[in-house]
Amino acid sequence: MTDAGRHPKITLHTMSEVVDVQGYVGNFDVKILRRARYVNEKECTACGDCAKACPVVRPDEFNAGLSSRKAIYTPFPQAVPSAYVININECLGHNPSVCAKCLNACEKGCINFHMSDEEIKERVGSIVVATGLEPYDPTELDEYGYTRFENVPALSLNV
């Protein structure tokens, strides 16, 4: 992912959703809804000072809830871009009179609670969509021996 992020001819749109595609192979007009991350990803150095200051602790989705994370966090190790993101639904700081500890901890001033989702229009030659993984309960697939053998691990399937 890091190599793709550094490639001059590849544009990564993280935290984004393709809304509309028009055109044909080699000449697409794409509308992309980019979700607000509430952290300036170009300025953030991922120093972690903001996360250390955050009082909110939640289960970490990346680790299937086996560990915890803060309301401001990096989505997963080696995430591209290497910048923090705020889950605004968990954060207390979007009402700065309540918290704003991360805002005060960030010396570079990367946190902006006034960011909003934006629609981007791009003309592209090709589109690669990476949807990620989602946990899957394999108990219904007994032919693989998940319920019968201890050494058969759980599966994760592409969504």
For residue 1, being part of any structural domain is answered with no
Rg (CA), the chain: 19
- The pLDDT value recorded for residue 156 is 47
For residue 3, being part of any structural domain is answered with no
**11 pLDDT more than 50:** yes
Q: Are 138 and 146 in contact, with CB atoms under 8 Å apart?
A: yes
State pLDDT tens for residues 51-104.
999 999 999 988 888 899 999 999 888 888 889 999 998 988 666 667 889 999
For residue 54, being part of any structural domain is answered with yes
Return the ∠ at Cα 53 (arms to 51 and 57), rounded to 5°.
65
Mean of the per-residue pLDDT values of the chain: 85
Residue 151's identity, in one-letter code, is N
Q: How many domains does the chain have?
A: 2
DSSP state of 80: S
The set of residues, in sequence order, having a beta carbon less than 8 Å from that of 8 and lying 6+ positions away, is none
- What is the span of the domain harbouring residue 150? 129-159
**DSSP H helical ranges for 8-100:** 49-53
Same domain, 97 and 39: yes
State pLDDT tens for residues 39-66.
999 999 999 999 999 999 999 988 888 8
Same domain, 146 and 110: no
**132 pLDDT more than 70:** no
Alpha carbon distances (Å) from 124 to 9, 20, 89, 101: 10, 13, 33, 40
Average pLDDT (3-32) is 88
Same domain, 140 and 124: no
Between CA 82 and CA 93 the distance in angstroms is: 22
